[in-house]
Amino acid sequence: MTSTSEPRRGEIWNVRFDLSEGAEISKIRPAVVVNVPEAGRLLLYIVVPITAWDERYSLFPWHTKLPPTPTNGLTKTSSADSFQVKSVSQKRLLEKLGEVTEDQLNNIVAAIALCVGYQG
């Protein structure tokens, strides 16, 4: 699924993460857009990168398991890695793949809050 529309919260897009350093996420990979449209004035989007699922990730609460579905565009069981949350230029968002469910989005956002120590 491709799109030239403006990325929206909960959508999965292929994102170009290079150039990266150290353990930063790299290459083109899917990511979930998590920012609310009212936040920010620049053409930046807050995204959570998606990586292949590994069973050991079930031990880490910052990973949200994402099984492939016709609506999310993923081809294999994956994980949204909220510890790698990042703001990226709109130019890095290449292609819309699909979208996560509302429950999955809520779990990803809760994982970000956990990573930054937000207690609400």
The domain segmentation of the chain, as residue ranges, is 11-115
CATH topology for the 11-115 domain: SH3 type barrels. (2.30.30)
- Residue 85 half-sphere exposure, CB side, CA atoms within 13 Å? 18
Q: Is the peptide bond before 19 cis (omega within 30 degrees of 0)?
A: yes
Task: Per residue of the chain (120 residues), give pLDDT as tens.
Answer: 444 579 999 999 999 998 878 887 779 999 999 999 888 788 899 999 999 999 999 999 999 999 999 999 999 999 999 999 999 999 999 999 999 999 999 999 999 999 999 987
Q: Yes or no: say if 66 and 79 are a contact pair by the CB < 8 Å rule.
A: yes
Residue type, 19: L
In degrees rounded to 5, what are phi and psi of residue 12? -105, 125
> pLDDT per residue over 65-86, tens digit each?
999 999 999 999 999 999 999 9
Predicted model pTM? 0.92
